[in-house]
Amino acid sequence: MVLQRPYLELVAAIDFSPALQGKDAGEILGKGKLGIPIYASIDQLPRKFSAQVVLHTTVSWLEDALPQINACIQKNFSVISTTEELLYPQWKYPDIARQLDHMAHKHKVAVFGTGVNPGFVLDTVAILLSAACIQVDSISLQRVVNAATRRFPLQKKIGAGMTVQEFRKQARSGRMGHVGFVETIALVAHAMGWKLDNIRETLKPKVADRRLRTQFLSVEPGQVTGIHQTCRGKIGRRTLIDADLQMYIGAPDPFDRIVVRGNPGIACHLEKGVAGDEATIAMLVNAIPLIVDAPPGLKTVLDLPLVRWTGNRPGQ
Protein backbone atom coordinates (compact mmCIF):
# COMPACT_ATOMS: atom_id res chain seq x y z
CA MET A 1 0.00 0.00 0.00
CA VAL A 2 2.90 2.37 0.72
CA LEU A 3 4.23 1.70 -2.78
CA GLN A 4 0.88 2.80 -4.23
CA ARG A 5 1.04 6.25 -2.63
CA PRO A 6 2.97 8.67 -4.88
CA TYR A 7 3.92 10.93 -1.97
CA LEU A 8 5.42 8.06 0.09
CA GLU A 9 8.75 6.29 -0.36
CA LEU A 10 9.52 2.90 1.18
CA VAL A 11 13.21 3.02 2.02
CA ALA A 12 13.80 -0.15 4.08
CA ALA A 13 12.14 -3.10 5.78
CA ILE A 14 13.02 -4.89 9.02
CA ASP A 15 12.13 -8.52 9.73
CA PHE A 16 13.43 -10.91 12.35
CA SER A 17 13.09 -13.93 10.05
CA PRO A 18 16.54 -15.19 8.96
CA ALA A 19 14.99 -16.37 5.68
CA LEU A 20 14.21 -12.77 4.66
CA GLN A 21 17.29 -10.91 5.85
CA GLY A 22 19.43 -9.49 3.09
CA LYS A 23 16.73 -9.89 0.46
CA ASP A 24 14.99 -7.14 -1.46
CA ALA A 25 11.53 -6.22 -0.17
CA GLY A 26 10.33 -5.76 -3.73
CA GLU A 27 11.02 -9.40 -4.52
CA ILE A 28 9.15 -10.56 -1.41
CA LEU A 29 6.18 -8.43 -2.52
CA GLY A 30 6.32 -9.83 -6.05
CA LYS A 31 7.35 -6.47 -7.51
CA GLY A 32 10.86 -7.42 -8.58
CA LYS A 33 13.98 -5.73 -7.23
CA LEU A 34 13.22 -2.24 -5.94
CA GLY A 35 16.42 -1.55 -4.05
CA ILE A 36 14.64 -1.83 -0.69
CA PRO A 37 16.81 -3.97 1.62
CA ILE A 38 15.45 -6.09 4.47
CA TYR A 39 17.45 -5.74 7.69
CA ALA A 40 17.44 -7.97 10.76
CA SER A 41 17.09 -5.07 13.20
CA ILE A 42 16.93 -1.31 13.28
CA ASP A 43 20.50 -1.27 14.58
CA GLN A 44 21.68 -2.59 11.20
CA LEU A 45 20.51 0.51 9.34
CA PRO A 46 23.35 2.55 7.82
CA ARG A 47 24.63 5.34 10.05
CA LYS A 48 23.37 8.15 7.80
CA PHE A 49 20.07 6.42 7.02
CA SER A 50 17.19 8.87 6.58
CA ALA A 51 13.49 8.20 7.20
CA GLN A 52 10.58 9.91 8.93
CA VAL A 53 8.20 7.15 10.03
CA VAL A 54 8.40 3.49 11.03
CA LEU A 55 5.31 1.31 10.57
CA HIS A 56 5.70 -1.09 13.48
CA THR A 57 3.74 -4.38 13.29
CA THR A 58 5.30 -7.02 15.51
CA VAL A 59 3.61 -7.91 18.83
CA SER A 60 0.43 -7.12 20.77
CA TRP A 61 1.90 -6.51 24.22
CA LEU A 62 3.51 -3.17 25.02
CA GLU A 63 6.21 -4.50 27.34
CA ASP A 64 7.40 -6.81 24.54
CA ALA A 65 7.27 -4.05 21.93
CA LEU A 66 8.89 -1.36 24.09
CA PRO A 67 12.55 -2.09 23.20
CA GLN A 68 11.68 -1.96 19.49
CA ILE A 69 9.72 1.27 19.81
CA ASN A 70 12.44 2.88 21.93
CA ALA A 71 15.04 1.93 19.32
CA CYS A 72 12.99 3.68 16.64
CA ILE A 73 12.60 6.81 18.75
CA GLN A 74 16.33 6.91 19.47
CA LYS A 75 16.93 6.91 15.69
CA ASN A 76 14.64 9.97 15.49
CA PHE A 77 11.88 8.06 13.68
CA SER A 78 8.22 8.62 14.44
CA VAL A 79 6.33 5.37 15.08
CA ILE A 80 2.88 4.18 14.00
CA SER A 81 2.30 0.84 15.69
CA THR A 82 -0.31 -1.92 15.73
CA THR A 83 0.73 -2.94 19.25
CA GLU A 84 -2.75 -3.03 20.75
CA GLU A 85 -1.73 -1.91 24.22
CA LEU A 86 -0.17 1.25 22.74
CA LEU A 87 -3.64 2.57 21.81
CA TYR A 88 -4.02 4.05 25.30
CA PRO A 89 -1.26 2.83 27.64
CA GLN A 90 -2.05 5.45 30.27
CA TRP A 91 -4.51 3.13 32.04
CA LYS A 92 -2.49 -0.06 32.36
CA TYR A 93 1.07 1.27 31.99
CA PRO A 94 1.14 4.92 33.14
CA ASP A 95 4.89 4.87 33.79
CA ILE A 96 5.64 3.51 30.31
CA ALA A 97 3.28 6.07 28.79
CA ARG A 98 5.14 8.92 30.53
CA GLN A 99 8.50 7.49 29.48
CA LEU A 100 7.45 7.16 25.84
CA ASP A 101 6.03 10.67 25.81
CA HIS A 102 9.25 12.05 27.35
CA MET A 103 11.46 10.23 24.84
CA ALA A 104 9.30 11.28 21.91
CA HIS A 105 9.55 14.91 22.95
CA LYS A 106 13.30 14.60 23.47
CA HIS A 107 13.81 13.22 19.96
CA LYS A 108 11.10 15.41 18.40
CA VAL A 109 9.02 12.54 17.05
CA ALA A 110 5.46 11.25 17.48
CA VAL A 111 4.36 7.78 18.66
CA PHE A 112 0.88 6.50 17.81
CA GLY A 113 -0.91 3.19 18.36
CA THR A 114 -3.67 2.36 15.90
CA GLY A 115 -5.46 -0.42 14.05
CA VAL A 116 -9.03 -1.57 13.54
CA ASN A 117 -9.82 -3.15 16.91
CA PRO A 118 -8.51 -1.44 18.88
CA GLY A 119 -8.00 1.80 16.99
CA PHE A 120 -11.13 2.28 14.92
CA VAL A 121 -14.39 0.40 15.05
CA LEU A 122 -15.16 0.11 18.78
CA ASP A 123 -13.38 3.23 20.00
CA THR A 124 -12.81 5.91 17.37
CA VAL A 125 -16.24 5.34 15.80
CA ALA A 126 -17.91 5.41 19.23
CA ILE A 127 -16.15 8.66 20.11
CA LEU A 128 -17.15 10.18 16.75
CA LEU A 129 -20.82 9.22 17.21
CA SER A 130 -20.88 10.97 20.59
CA ALA A 131 -20.26 14.30 18.83
CA ALA A 132 -23.95 14.42 17.87
CA CYS A 133 -25.15 13.96 21.46
CA ILE A 134 -26.21 16.62 23.95
CA GLN A 135 -25.77 14.05 26.73
CA VAL A 136 -24.11 10.62 26.82
CA ASP A 137 -25.21 8.22 29.55
CA SER A 138 -23.54 4.96 28.52
CA ILE A 139 -22.02 3.18 25.52
CA SER A 140 -22.32 -0.42 24.31
CA LEU A 141 -19.91 -2.00 21.85
CA GLN A 142 -20.39 -5.31 20.06
CA ARG A 143 -18.30 -7.10 17.45
CA VAL A 144 -18.78 -10.53 15.85
CA VAL A 145 -15.95 -11.77 13.62
CA ASN A 146 -15.69 -14.89 11.47
CA ALA A 147 -12.07 -15.73 12.25
CA ALA A 148 -11.90 -18.13 9.29
CA THR A 149 -11.32 -15.06 7.11
CA ARG A 150 -8.42 -13.80 9.22
CA ARG A 151 -4.67 -14.43 9.27
CA PHE A 152 -3.11 -17.51 10.90
CA PRO A 153 -1.55 -15.71 13.93
CA LEU A 154 -4.95 -14.37 14.92
CA GLN A 155 -6.55 -17.82 14.60
CA LYS A 156 -3.85 -19.13 16.93
CA LYS A 157 -4.33 -16.22 19.36
CA ILE A 158 -8.01 -17.09 19.81
CA GLY A 159 -7.16 -20.74 20.48
CA ALA A 160 -8.67 -22.29 17.35
CA GLY A 161 -7.97 -26.04 17.35
CA MET A 162 -7.00 -26.20 21.04
CA THR A 163 -8.65 -28.36 23.65
CA VAL A 164 -10.70 -26.48 26.22
CA GLN A 165 -8.11 -27.43 28.86
CA GLU A 166 -5.25 -26.00 26.78
CA PHE A 167 -7.24 -22.83 26.20
CA ARG A 168 -7.89 -22.29 29.90
CA LYS A 169 -4.23 -22.83 30.72
CA GLN A 170 -3.15 -20.26 28.12
CA ALA A 171 -5.87 -17.86 29.27
CA ARG A 172 -4.49 -17.93 32.82
CA SER A 173 -1.11 -16.81 31.44
CA GLY A 174 -2.72 -13.70 29.95
CA ARG A 175 -1.58 -14.58 26.43
CA MET A 176 -4.88 -15.73 24.99
CA GLY A 177 -7.73 -13.85 23.38
CA HIS A 178 -8.16 -10.35 22.04
CA VAL A 179 -5.60 -7.80 23.23
CA GLY A 180 -6.67 -4.19 23.55
CA PHE A 181 -10.15 -4.41 25.06
CA VAL A 182 -9.06 -2.61 28.23
CA GLU A 183 -7.41 0.09 26.12
CA THR A 184 -10.59 0.56 24.06
CA ILE A 185 -12.67 1.04 27.20
CA ALA A 186 -10.08 3.35 28.78
CA LEU A 187 -9.76 5.52 25.66
CA VAL A 188 -13.52 5.92 25.22
CA ALA A 189 -13.91 6.74 28.92
CA HIS A 190 -11.13 9.33 28.70
CA ALA A 191 -12.81 10.90 25.68
CA MET A 192 -16.12 11.10 27.58
CA GLY A 193 -14.46 12.55 30.68
CA TRP A 194 -15.47 9.53 32.77
CA LYS A 195 -13.03 8.63 35.55
CA LEU A 196 -13.59 4.89 35.80
CA ASP A 197 -13.06 3.02 39.06
CA ASN A 198 -12.27 -0.25 37.32
CA ILE A 199 -12.23 -2.14 34.04
CA ARG A 200 -13.00 -5.87 34.13
CA GLU A 201 -12.60 -8.49 31.39
CA THR A 202 -13.98 -12.01 31.00
CA LEU A 203 -12.78 -14.62 28.50
CA LYS A 204 -14.47 -17.89 27.58
CA PRO A 205 -13.85 -20.36 24.76
CA LYS A 206 -16.32 -20.96 21.95
CA VAL A 207 -16.50 -24.71 21.33
CA ALA A 208 -17.12 -26.31 17.93
CA ASP A 209 -20.19 -28.50 17.48
CA ARG A 210 -19.02 -29.69 14.07
CA ARG A 211 -15.79 -30.06 12.06
CA LEU A 212 -14.50 -26.76 10.73
CA ARG A 213 -11.65 -25.91 8.37
CA THR A 214 -9.77 -22.78 7.43
CA GLN A 215 -6.90 -22.14 5.05
CA PHE A 216 -4.52 -22.80 7.95
CA LEU A 217 -6.07 -25.32 10.34
CA SER A 218 -8.94 -27.64 11.17
CA VAL A 219 -11.13 -27.74 14.28
CA GLU A 220 -12.77 -30.94 15.47
CA PRO A 221 -16.05 -31.09 17.42
CA GLY A 222 -15.37 -30.33 21.07
CA GLN A 223 -12.27 -28.27 20.30
CA VAL A 224 -12.03 -24.53 20.72
CA THR A 225 -13.13 -22.54 17.70
CA GLY A 226 -12.53 -19.06 19.16
CA ILE A 227 -13.45 -16.68 21.95
CA HIS A 228 -16.29 -14.87 23.66
CA GLN A 229 -14.75 -11.94 25.48
CA THR A 230 -16.37 -9.11 27.41
CA CYS A 231 -15.06 -5.93 29.01
CA ARG A 232 -16.83 -3.42 31.23
CA GLY A 233 -15.83 -0.04 32.62
CA LYS A 234 -17.57 1.04 35.81
CA ILE A 235 -17.92 3.93 38.20
CA GLY A 236 -19.10 2.41 41.45
CA ARG A 237 -21.69 -0.19 40.51
CA ARG A 238 -22.73 1.59 37.34
CA THR A 239 -21.50 0.26 34.00
CA LEU A 240 -20.65 3.17 31.72
CA ILE A 241 -19.11 1.19 28.86
CA ASP A 242 -19.70 -2.45 28.03
CA ALA A 243 -18.06 -4.32 25.17
CA ASP A 244 -18.77 -7.79 23.80
CA LEU A 245 -16.58 -9.62 21.28
CA GLN A 246 -17.25 -12.99 19.68
CA MET A 247 -14.46 -14.05 17.34
CA TYR A 248 -14.48 -17.64 16.17
CA ILE A 249 -14.16 -19.91 13.16
CA GLY A 250 -17.48 -20.12 11.33
CA ALA A 251 -19.25 -17.20 13.03
CA PRO A 252 -22.35 -16.45 10.91
CA ASP A 253 -23.40 -12.92 9.98
CA PRO A 254 -20.44 -10.92 11.35
CA PHE A 255 -21.11 -7.31 12.29
CA ASP A 256 -19.98 -4.36 14.37
CA ARG A 257 -22.48 -2.41 16.46
CA ILE A 258 -22.02 0.73 18.53
CA VAL A 259 -24.84 2.08 20.70
CA VAL A 260 -24.51 5.49 22.37
CA ARG A 261 -27.27 5.99 24.93
CA GLY A 262 -28.15 9.57 25.71
CA ASN A 263 -29.86 12.54 24.13
CA PRO A 264 -30.24 11.73 21.34
CA GLY A 265 -29.40 8.04 21.41
CA ILE A 266 -27.44 6.83 18.40
CA ALA A 267 -26.96 3.28 17.10
CA CYS A 268 -24.55 2.35 14.31
CA HIS A 269 -24.64 -1.14 12.77
CA LEU A 270 -21.86 -2.11 10.34
CA GLU A 271 -23.10 -5.10 8.37
CA LYS A 272 -20.41 -7.79 7.88
CA GLY A 273 -18.11 -5.77 10.15
CA VAL A 274 -14.83 -4.11 9.25
CA ALA A 275 -12.33 -6.50 7.66
CA GLY A 276 -9.55 -6.47 10.23
CA ASP A 277 -6.42 -7.39 8.27
CA GLU A 278 -6.85 -5.14 5.22
CA ALA A 279 -8.29 -2.28 7.25
CA THR A 280 -5.42 -2.41 9.74
CA ILE A 281 -2.96 -1.77 6.91
CA ALA A 282 -5.13 1.12 5.74
CA MET A 283 -5.20 2.67 9.22
CA LEU A 284 -1.40 2.57 9.40
CA VAL A 285 -0.74 4.08 6.00
CA ASN A 286 -3.53 6.66 6.13
CA ALA A 287 -2.13 7.95 9.43
CA ILE A 288 1.34 8.67 8.01
CA PRO A 289 0.68 12.28 6.87
CA LEU A 290 -0.94 13.10 10.21
CA ILE A 291 1.97 11.72 12.23
CA VAL A 292 4.55 13.48 10.05
CA ASP A 293 2.76 16.78 10.76
CA ALA A 294 2.02 16.04 14.44
CA PRO A 295 3.87 17.74 17.30
CA PRO A 296 6.18 15.46 19.32
CA GLY A 297 4.87 13.09 21.95
CA LEU A 298 2.80 9.98 22.60
CA LYS A 299 -0.46 10.44 20.70
CA THR A 300 -3.98 9.01 20.74
CA VAL A 301 -6.78 9.55 18.24
CA LEU A 302 -7.91 12.42 20.46
CA ASP A 303 -4.69 14.33 19.74
CA LEU A 304 -4.81 14.10 15.94
CA PRO A 305 -7.11 15.22 13.13
CA LEU A 306 -9.53 12.50 12.03
CA VAL A 307 -7.60 9.71 10.31
CA ARG A 308 -9.05 9.40 6.81
CA TRP A 309 -8.21 7.98 3.40
CA THR A 310 -5.14 9.82 2.18
CA GLY A 311 -4.69 8.23 -1.25
CA ASN A 312 -4.82 11.67 -2.85
CA ARG A 313 -3.49 13.39 0.28
CA PRO A 314 -6.43 15.84 0.43
CA GLY A 315 -5.72 19.27 1.79
CA GLN A 316 -2.04 19.14 0.82
Say whether domain 2-115+278-303 belongs to CATH 3.40.50.720.
yes
Amino acid 36: pLDDT: 93
Q: To the nearest 5 percent, what fractions of the chain are helix, strand and coil?
A: 30, 25, 40
Amino acid 315: pLDDT: 54
Domain ranges of the chain: 2-115+278-303, 124-273
For residue 140, CA distances in Å to 121, 169, 206, 233, 278 come to: 12, 30, 22, 11, 25
126 Rama class: left (phi>0) / alpha (psi -120 to 50) / beta: alpha
Q: How far is CA 86 from the centre of its chain?
A: 8
Strands (E), the chain: 13-14, 38-39, 53-56, 78-81, 110-113, 135-146, 198-207, 212-213, 218-219, 224-235, 238-248, 255-263, 266-271, 297-299
DSSP 121: T
In angstroms, the CA 205 to CA 89 distance is: 27
Amino acid 22: pLDDT: 87
Q: What is the b/e burial string over 34-50, where b = at least 16 CB atoms within 10 angstroms of the residue's CB? A: eebbbbeebeebeeeee
In angstroms, the CA 185 to CA 176 distance is: 19
Q: What is the b/e burial string over 217-228, where b = at least 16 CB atoms within 10 angstroms of the residue's CB? A: eebeeebbbbbb
Q: Show pLDDT as tens, one digit a residue, over the chain (316 residues).
A: 898 898 999 999 999 999 998 899 999 989 999 999 999 999 999 988 899 999 999 999 999 999 999 999 999 999 999 999 999 999 999 999 999 999 999 999 999 999 999 999 999 999 999 999 999 999 999 999 999 999 898 999 999 999 999 999 999 988 899 999 999 999 999 999 999 999 999 999 999 999 999 999 999 999 999 999 999 999 999 999 999 999 999 999 999 999 999 999 999 999 999 988 899 999 999 999 999 999 999 999 999 999 999 988 755 4
Q: Are 246 and 145 in contact (CB under 8 A)?
A: yes
Q: What is the CA radius of gyration of the chain?
A: 20
Say whether domain 124-273 belongs to CATH 1.20.120.
no
